[in-house]
Structure 1
Amino acid sequence: MSAQAPATLFDQDAVRRAVDAALFDYMSGQIRRAHHRGLPQQALQSVSDFLNSGGKRIRPVLCVAGWQAAGGAGAPNPVLKAAASLEMFHASVLIHDDIIDASDTRRGRPTVHRQAGTEAAILIGDLALVLADDLLHSAGIAPHQLTTVLLVANQLRADTIYGQYLDLSHAGQPPADPGPALAITHYKTAKYTIEGPLLLGAALAGADNTTCSALSAYGIPVGEAFQLRDDLLGVFGNPHDTGKPALDDLREGKATVLMALALQNADPTQHRTLRRHVGNPHLTHEDAEEVRAVLTDTGARAGVEDMIAERRQSALTTLSTAGLPAHITSVLRSQAFNATARTT
């Protein structure tokens, strides 16, 4: 997709390819500059390898969708680079998140800290954050738009870190109250994965308050549903599909709505099973099966499925009355289903 692409067309695969090309060009330039300065290139290469290891590019696609939702045409280079900066920030978040969660694999490959060591991975994640900022600042965004764009980008980053902190503070002994888990879902995923990228793209096009409000009313419920689905996949998903081990969330004792509902509805025996196994770093596959049975038998799994469906419908209702361009409405409808019915 290029600056000349008609505004009435939105090829998500083309956006992904264009963002990948922007990331490749940017990282190639960074590695060349490091070489010319006589600097070691291993950390930059680790970031580049991580970016090339896969990923759905959800955030960049939504950034371009937000741009077109607010009247932008095609996907000019500044928009693509701003969208690519979101993927770079995402890399930083995931590298650090894998350290926090002590995860062994990501996207079917060893995590960065398993390959390079924890200390090196912290620095590699920090480097990706610096590169995300540089990529955004050097995107060629018009000066009169840059201030607004940076406000949106910085809020997105701060919300993500706040959500990560909440997640960490409740790990180990998840509460029976779903409130903390919903707050984590709101900040760590909804604002970061769906709403923030849409608003960043909209800011690039100088969106008015009405458009931004519609994008938020769509983005928050889809983002929450996305995380609720992620929580289900973290326990019930197939590792061959998700690219992550099936025991990590249970061993960590993540505070999820799924677990809160189970704790609320559990009988004494079920409650003891959950408290004995959830948060146990030595949880076995047999133990996990006991936990999964409780999550199903208490109705927690079905309850989360209902919450996903309710949020998806809320987002679709918003789209039906938002007055966004027809091709963007179609894209966002597709994203709502893809984000909430996925298996990876």
Structure 2
Amino acid sequence: MTFSASSPVSFVRSAVDGEIARFVARRRAQLLEIGSELAPAVDALEAMLAGGKRLRPAFCYWGWRGAGGADVPGIHAAAASLEFLQACALIHDDVIDNSDTRRGLPATHKRLEELHERSGWSGSAADFGRGAAILIGDLCLAWSEDLYQASGLELEALRAGRTPFDAMRTEVMAGQYLDMLEQVRGGGAVEATLRVMHYKAAKYTVERPLHLGAALAGRHEDLSPVYTAYGLPLGVAFQLRDDVLGVFGDPEQTGKPAGDDLREGKRTLIVAETLERAGAADRAGFLRRLGDPGLDTDAVEWMRGVAEDCGALAACERRIDDYVEQAGTALESGLLDGSARSALADLVVAATARKH
């Protein structure tokens, strides 16, 4: 069996979308019984869940199939639970970064801020938006647990999956904290940035979903080394592609203004590489502009030019290529089911050769 670059995700996406839609419909009814005022909150939650690449459910599903698991409804529901964890992380991340947009639409806290303004309520609209978004993110975290437990898989399988499922939640929160710490420390060292990426992105996006699939299928012990050797380098490559797109991406593709990561002052690897490689004058100018929310197009273009001219962009692209090669080598293990191996190879392309 062979797949195009997108089909391993597409194959999973329709089933995962169905699980999410049915689950949210049940929970919407429950919330509206509490109060009709909760409808805008559920609308905001649904808007966040409607987008996304569904990569984490795809890695979980193919991790399960690689362990010999059959295509049963329960694995789609368990995999779908990861989208609620992802929604929680993104909603909170946008609050922390004070991002205005997500996927070309208002971020959740901005959406609720606008609700406050339209309604003419008292107090600060911005404070209401941030507070409401934090609560919606918390709700997503709780619903991730609920959907996992209600997936319909055997209780023994769900118990086996607890170790990677719980570790993933802890690691992504720890990674987010380390990310915040690097911002306030004024960090920029390549190694420190890679540590953040390891926990906030690589383990959470690829490795742990694969581990979860293997554990649910009863093969965590023998397959986790293979999935780690594949998942960690691919997860870092995935985040590196995000970092490059955050500086050099096309707004029509990324859904975010050009150079938005520079305005937010994100200490990404491409920034770290630029600060290490640029000459003293360019480094000082880059640092002076980094994190300025008022950066205009000319300033963004200048910063892009510095990153490109000093070799930072090329260094990041080389790292992506190296990590992709490592992931591909890991798939040569004979422990994986053949169709899953093919799908995971195509997922390397889906995760790293993208424009958004």
Counterpart selection for 2:55 from 32, 55, 58: 58
Farther-moved stretch of structure 1 (210-219 vs 36-45): 36-45
| Distance in 2 separating the partners of 1:236 and 1:103 | 18
Q: Determine what percentage of the aligned residue pairs are the same residue.
A: 41
Q: TM-score with structure 1 length normalisation?
A: 0.93
Q: TM-score with structure 2 length normalisation?
A: 0.90
**What amino acid sits opposite 1:22 in the alignment?**
E
Partner residue in 1 for 2:88: 92
Q: Is the 1:15–1:61 contact (alpha carbons within 8 Å) kept by the matching residues of 2?
A: yes
Deviation at 1:342, TM superposition (A): 0.9
Deviation at 1:270, TM superposition (A): 0.9
Q: Matches of residues 37-56 of structure 1 in structure 2 within 5 Å?
A: 37-38=34-35, 40-42=37-39, 43-52=41-50, 54-56=51-53
Deviation at 1:275, TM superposition (A): 1.4
Aligned residues: 335
Counterpart selection for 1:13 from 2, 10, 13: 10
Partner residue in 1 for 2:164: 152
Mapped pair 1:252 → 2:248: no
Mapped pair 1:118 → 2:130: yes
Q: Is the 1:60–1:86 contact (alpha carbons within 8 Å) kept by the matching residues of 2?
A: yes
Q: Is the 1:174–1:260 contact (alpha carbons within 8 Å) kept by the matching residues of 2?
A: no
Partner residue in 1 for 2:68: 71
Partner residue in 2 for 1:277: 289
Deviation at 1:143, TM superposition (A): 2.0
SS at match of 2:202: helix
Q: Matches of residues 110-259 of structure 1 in structure 2 within 5 Å?
A: 110-116=106-112, 117-171=129-183, 174-259=186-271
Farther-moved stretch of structure 1 (142-151 vs 96-105): 142-151
SS at match of 1:55: coil
Counterpart selection for 1:26 from 11, 14, 23: 23
Deviation at 1:322, TM superposition (A): 4.3
Deviations 1:133-183 (A, max 9, x none): 111112123222222212211110111111111111112665342011101
**What amino acid sits opposite 1:14 in the alignment?**
F
Deviation at 1:324, TM superposition (A): 1.1
- In the alignment, structure 2 segments of 5+ residues that lack a partner are 113-128
Mapped pair 1:296 → 2:294: no
Partner residue in 1 for 2:274: 262
Deviation at 1:261, TM superposition (A): 1.5
Deviations 1:97-128 (A, max 9, x none): 11111111111111111110111111111111
- Give RMSD over aligned pairs: 1.8
Q: Which structure has more RCO (C-alpha within 8 Å, separation ≥ 6)?
A: 2
Farther-moved stretch of structure 1 (87-96 vs 36-45): 36-45
| Distance in 2 separating the partners of 1:83 and 1:248 | 31
**What amino acid sits opposite 1:241 in the alignment?**
Q
Q: Is the 2:56–2:206 contact (alpha carbons within 8 Å) kept by the matching residues of 1?
A: yes
- In the alignment, structure 1 segments of 5+ residues that lack a partner are 1-5
